Amino acid sequence: MQRRDFFKKSLAVAGAAAIGSSLEAASQPITGQKVSQVAFPQKRPMITYSDRPPLLESPRNVFAQAITPNDQFFVRWHMPEIPTHIDLKEYRLKVNGEVEKELSFTLDELKHEFEPVEVTAVLQCGGNGRSAFSPIAGGIQWGNGAVGNAKWKGARLRDVLERAGIKKGAHWIGFNGLDNAAYYKTPNFVREMHIEELDDHVIVAYEMNGEELPYLNGYPVRLIIPGYYSDSWVKMLSNLTLTTDYQKLFFMDVAYRIPDNDCECEEPGSHKKVKTKPITTMNVKSMIGYPTNDTKVYLNSHLTVRGVAFDQGKGIREVQVSIDGGKTWEAAILDDGKNGRYSFREFRYTFNPSKYGKQTIMTKAINKAGEEQPLAKEIKWNHGGYKYNGIDTVTVEVV
Amino acid sequence: MYKFLLAIALTVLSLSAAEVKEDMQVPYIPYEIKMGEHFDVVQAQCLICHSFGYIINQGPQSKAFWSGKVQKMKNAFGMDITDEDAVLVTEYLYKHYGNGDDK
């Protein structure tokens, strides 16, 4: 099914390329993929791109609600060997490197020796929506659902590091988890953060929506960096290592990078090496959770469009909806925002479909800095297919 | 096959309330990959680190893309493969998951 979509898309690309400049760099991501018949541990059946390492996407209807249930939360691992058993008697979070005193904490110590803090924050893969790009960008062809929003509880990373004593010359924090490669030579999925990026919202979380973290979402502890793409939210966190200098790491220097220019874009097919930068903070985005493309609605019935909107934490100001193909836009009703600026905001918009046939619904989020979601066709291409945030579009049939 | 998958699904669902105290069983999914020349090399090499799903869900790509992926697996991730076999894997990938751009 997914391959058929790819072929359709690749034919469309070939056709457009033949005409020349009419080629658009992005359309809508693939949607409506079937969930797998096989469920993963602690998960309902999800769209499954790979079992090893596990890559699971949430179906669109999950985004009709502000909090994403743990058992439908997307999953993305980089390494094939994930521990299948965590013994809490053995588990330690180690703090080492440029610290006054190397320390290690049990899960219980993390829970009880540090002030617990909560933050509701969106976790989104940098490649979410990658399947929208033409020509097809490198990487897993995610649809819309490599994103979720949860209430995380944990200890402040700063508190944990300060317990060990941050040495004056320490500038970088390295994060490593318990997942491993199949080859000894494969670089570990280690991420680094400059110590200046460390604020009180960055936590080592041991709770997700009031429960312990699902195994596939990083049990027992994962890093939470609100506002940032999920590439640095290391799962099954085992080591915090402070260093004076930036360590050269594959997953920092090669993966999860975009062109370092104003449009964050490049010419497809050009083999010129462009200067790149990490993807870092998320751009403004909305997604429709209901209805979906296979929904049929009755003429003149009461149709309430529901969805979510978010950005990097500047805050959502408005979500607008268009039911006339983008000619006119009307404001949707936003929730009260009580989950904070890093959370999904829920929106709804009601109308009565008044014509038989196809009815397109488009949603556009605007944040408090005035940044707007662009039309898909306005989005420029990058080779990794990162940071797609085109105006979301769903087409229903009015019967 | 369907019944077999359903049986796995039900088994796994019944475990879903458990905490991570027992061993977690991550299911195996038999992705339908295309058969063809040099498939044996692909199976022997690629499955060490990842599923066939990881390949087929990249979408159709150019020869340069697939060659680049194989080189990344070898040079960055440490895949133990001869230069000859790397060429065979690239040929297989481009033949079955290519986009017609053979540069």
Query: Which residues, 6+ apart, have CB-to-CB distance to A253 below 8 Å?
Result: none
Give the chain A residue whose CA is nearest to the CA of B26. A40
CA-wise closest residue to A68 among A150, A157, A191, A152: A150
Distance (Å) from the C-alpha of residue A256 to the closest C-alpha of chain B?
Answer: 15
Chosen CATH of A71-278 out of 3.60.21.10, 3.40.50.12780, 3.90.420.10, 3.80.30.20: 3.90.420.10
Query: CB-CB: which of A13, A54, A215 is closest to B20?
Result: A215
- Chain centroid to CA A135: 22
- Does pLDDT of A8 surpass 60? no
Q: Nearest by CB to A215, which of B24, B48, B59?
A: B24
Residue pLDDT, tens place only, B66-86? 999 999 999 988 999 999 999
CA dihedral A137, A141, A143, A147 (to 10 degrees): -90
Question: A41 and B50: CB-CB below 8 Å?
Answer: no
Q: Which CATH class is domain A285-398?
A: mainly beta
In this structure, is the dihedral angle defined by the CA atoms of residues A354, A360, A361 and A364, taken in order, positive or negative?
negative
Can you say how many angstroms the Cα of residue A363 is from the centroid of all Cα atoms in its chain? 19
In a 13 Å sphere around the CA of A23, the CA atoms on its Cβ side amount to 23
Is the minimum CB–CB distance between A254 and chain B shorter than 8 Å? yes
> Is A14 a residue whose pLDDT tops 60?
no
SS3 content of chain B, % helix, strand, coil (to 5): 50, 0, 45
Rounded Cα gap, residues A133 and A135, in angstroms: 6
State how far residue A1 is from chain B, nearest Cα, in angstroms: 11
The domain of B43 spans: 2-97
Listed by number, the residues of chain B in 19-38 with a beta carbon closer than 8 Å to a beta carbon of chain A are 19-20, 22-29, 31
Nearest partner of A393 among A381, A380, A376, A379, judged by Cα: A376
B24, B31, B50: residue with CB nearest A53: B50
- Subunit contact B9:A39, Cβ cutoff 8 A: yes
Scanning A304-323 for CB atoms below 8 A from B yields: none
> Closest Cα to residue A114, out of A177, A176, A157?
A157
- Give the torsion sign (CA, A182, B67, A142, A187): positive
Total domains in chain B come to 1
Distance CA B93, CA B46 (A): 11
Residue B1 has pLDDT above 50, yes or no: no
Q: A72-99 pLDDT, tens per residue?
A: 999 999 988 899 889 999 999 999 999 9
A41 to B22: CB separation less than 8 angstroms, yes or no: no
Summarised one tens digit per residue, pLDDT across range B10-62 is 444 444 433 455 688 889 999 999 999 999 999 999 999 999 999 999 999 99
What whole-number distance in Å separates Cα of residue A343 and Cα of residue A349? 20
Rounded to the nearest angstrom, the gap between the alpha carbon of residue A134 and the centroid of all alpha carbons in its chain is 20
Task: Tell me what percent of the residues of chain A surpass a pLDDT of 90.
Answer: 82
For residue B79, the chain A residue with the least C-alpha distance is: A183
Q: Does A187 touch chain B (CB under 8 A)?
A: yes
Q: Is B6 on the interface with A (CB under 8 A)?
A: yes
Who's near A122: CB < 8 A, 6+ residues apart?
A: A147, A148, A149, A226, A282, A310, A342, A343, A344
Helix (H), strand (E), coil (C) string for A268-303: CCCCCCCCEEECCECCCEEEEEECCCCCEECCCCCE
* Cα distance from N-terminal residue to C-terminal residue, chain B: 40
Cβ A165 vs Cβ A99: under 8 Å: yes
Which amino acid makes up residue A231?
Answer: D
pLDDT bucket at A17, cuts 50 / 70 / 90: very low
DSSP conformational letter for A159: H
- How close does chain A come to B63, measured CA to CA in Å? 12
Least confident range of A3-17, A216-230, B63-77, B84-98? A3-17
Query: What are the residue ranges spanned by the domains of chain A?
Result: 71-278, 285-398
Pairwise CB contact (< 8 Å): B5 & A7: no
Averaged pLDDT of chain A: 91
Q: Do B19 and A212 touch (CB under 8 A)?
A: yes
Closest CB to A37 among B5, B53, B54? B5
Where residue B81 sits, what CATH number does that domain have? 1.10.760.10
Contacts of A220 in chain B (CB under 8 A): 20
> Cβ contact (<8 Å) for A6 and B20?
no
Are residues B60 and A80, on separate chains, in Cβ contact within 8 Å?
no
For residue range A278-336, list pLDDT tens digits in order.
999 999 999 999 999 999 999 999 999 999 999 999 999 999 999 999 999 999 999 99
What pLDDT is recorded for position A22?
A: 43
A6 contacts chain B (CB < 8 A): yes
B-interface mutation test, from A1, A13, A40, A89, most B Cβ less than 10 A away: A40
Beta bridge pairs of residue A147: A124
Dihedral over Cα of A22, A27, A32, A37: its sign = positive
Residues of B with CB below 8 A from A43's CB? 16
At residue B21, the pLDDT reads 58
For residues A107-134, average pLDDT: 98
Give alpha helix (H) positions in chain A. Answer: 2-19, 107-112, 157-164, 250-253
Measured between CB atoms, does B46 come within 8 Å of chain A?
no
Q: Give the Cα separation of A318 and A310 in Å (integer).
A: 10
Asked whether residue B102 is assigned to any structural domain, the reply reads no
